[in-house]
Amino acid sequence: MQIQTKLPKVGTTIFTVMSQLALEHKAVNLGQGFPDFDGPQALRDALAAAMNAGRNQYAPMTGVPALREQIARKTERLYGRKVNPDTEVTVTSGATEALFAAIAAVVRAGDEVIVLDPCYDSYEPAIELNGGRAVHVPLDPRDFSPDWQRIKDAITPKTRMILINTPHNPCGSVFSAADLDRLAELVRGSDILVLSDEVYEHIVFDEAPHQSVLRHAELAERSFVVSSFGKTYHTTGWKVGYCVAPRALSAEFRKVHQYLTFCTFTPAQVAFAEILEKDPQHYLDLPAFYQAKRDRFRELLAGTKFRLLPVAGAYFQVVDYSALSDRDDLAFCEWLIKEAGVAAIPISAFYETPPAEQRLIRFCFAKNDATLEQAAERLTAL
């Protein structure tokens, strides 16, 4: 049977490829972005209690009411924006589902969506499956900040959405308040929407506040803002996220969500509602928790031949390996697994057209100290 693929540029994700290769060669996996430690004991206990209490059937399509209420309270507490939990908060089966649902809700055939390279690899397939075209605009290669003039130049009458990501995966850069102002200037007076991927919202370093689109009243009125409980509570396998958007956008978002997954794992929703109410300190302490890991990992790599790029947020360390090899980044990552026993992710996987001379790879430092130390010992020997 001949199948004409709808996604001709898509194969197995680089994360799966590198994790499988790491498994085959018994390498330390600093590639795929997941912690190798568990979420809070109180959260796991709440999940078990919810299951044992019979909370095992379908949740409401938009999410368990208690969880939506807690999300609304957190949004107001952190970002000063009051949102209606009934009409503006939707719980999803992970942030990736939320990103897809937001794109599917508003992008039509022929529409353009501006994405900022390097960018997460789920963005473009979601755009293409819904008939749109991803317009790739590179971030500044020096510090991965947005180049607002280039973004402005990329806007056309077909532009439907601008997709941003802060803190940034894979590069660890963050938006400033001035960046939000510039974005607002670009879309003012237009019908352009914003999709803001903020899954690492609680992992911002050096006492800097997370500049959520929800802080910016003008942008919040035209934005889908996506967050992830998996990233915040070290439970990526539970696949629970959410989207905050104005009532009209949420209504369209929910039309897609109800036929995509309908609802999300009920016991986990009950557990997250409980932990948000009883222990808000967890997400408040997260910046310091991950900053300690960032600083420890950078200290461990100080004696290697890698050049470490700055990390302002998220839990990834980008390094330049040009002092070690002139291989392209994919070939270098394959070599690193086989010869050094450490898995990383090539940054070119996040680009439409990666810079030809760029020699960058990404390590994940959301790991136990013993894991980071073992990896660093192997990398130091190169």
For the chain, list the domains and their CATH numbers: 14-39+282-380 (3.90.1150.10), 57-281 (3.40.640.10)
Quick: pLDDT tens for 25-58.
Answer: 999 999 988 999 999 999 999 999 999 999 999 9
53-62, pLDDT tens digit by residue? 999 999 999 9
Structure tokens at 198: 């903020």
pLDDT at 32: 85
Residue 200 has pLDDT above 90, yes or no: yes
- Per the CB < 8 A criterion, the answer to whether 198 and 99 are in contact is no
Q: Which residue in 162, 110, 170 sits closest to 136, CA to CA?
A: 162
Pairing verdict, β 89-92 and 241-244: antiparallel
d(CA 298, CA 311): 10
Tell me the average pLDDT of the chain.
Answer: 96
Q: How far is CA 59 from CA 41, 102, 275, in A?
A: 23, 20, 18
Mean pLDDT of 226-236: 98
State the burial class of residue 356 (Cβ atoms within 10 Å of its Cβ: 0-12, 13-18, 19+). exposed
Chain segment 317-351, per-residue pLDDT in tens: 999 999 999 999 999 999 999 999 999 999 999 99
